[in-house]
Amino acid sequence: MARHRVPIAPQSVDARGDDRVVEVVDETVGFRYFDARDLLGFVDGTANPVGAYVVVQKYLQDMARWNSLSTEKQASVIGRTKLTNEELDDVTATAQPKAHKTLTTIVNEQTGEEHDILRDNMPFGWPGTDQFGTYFIGYSRRLWVVEKMLERMFVEVPPGMHDRILDYSAALTGTTFFAPSASFLTSLNMGD
């Protein structure tokens, strides 16, 4: 893999007077697919708020295995209809397994308030290599919401509630960043 030394931003070099750089360790070129759909054919990010924590994850999808499912089965895995993007009724509290939408919907048990995240999927692929997937970027004001979503997807909490989308997708990378507000960055007085 080629290594690049890239300035973080012209403002950071000018304000700090040095040559701060980042090292590119993974470069994924994504593309818009139809009307904001991922390569599985579903729309993501239909209820987007604003946030300060950024989670990025790179998934490879087993497209042959996914495409072998009926459209109805795919919809039950995701929790939405494929063509019209309508939410399907949540399964009963005791039914297993749960849909992706159900597992990633985080509700405050005391208040009943739903905590949404801003989602932006970017499909990617390299024809001829059979590598296709989704580069997921999510934003949330509350870190615990992202952590709870990941726990419910990957750790099977509560037991038996694994995210069936992971039967067709493999997480390759993932990390979480804190994105400070513009007012916070201004308060640092980096130019003084």
Tracing tokens 């997807």 back to the chain, one arrives at 153
Helices assigned H by DSSP within the chain: 10-16, 63-67, 71-78, 100-103, 143-150, 182-187
User: Which residues are annotated as catalytic?
Assistant: 44
Closest CA to 121 of 132, 106, 107: 132
- One DSSP character per residue, 107-138 reads E-TTT--EE--EEEEEEEEETTTTEEEEEEEE
**Local structure of 54: helix, strand or coil:** strand
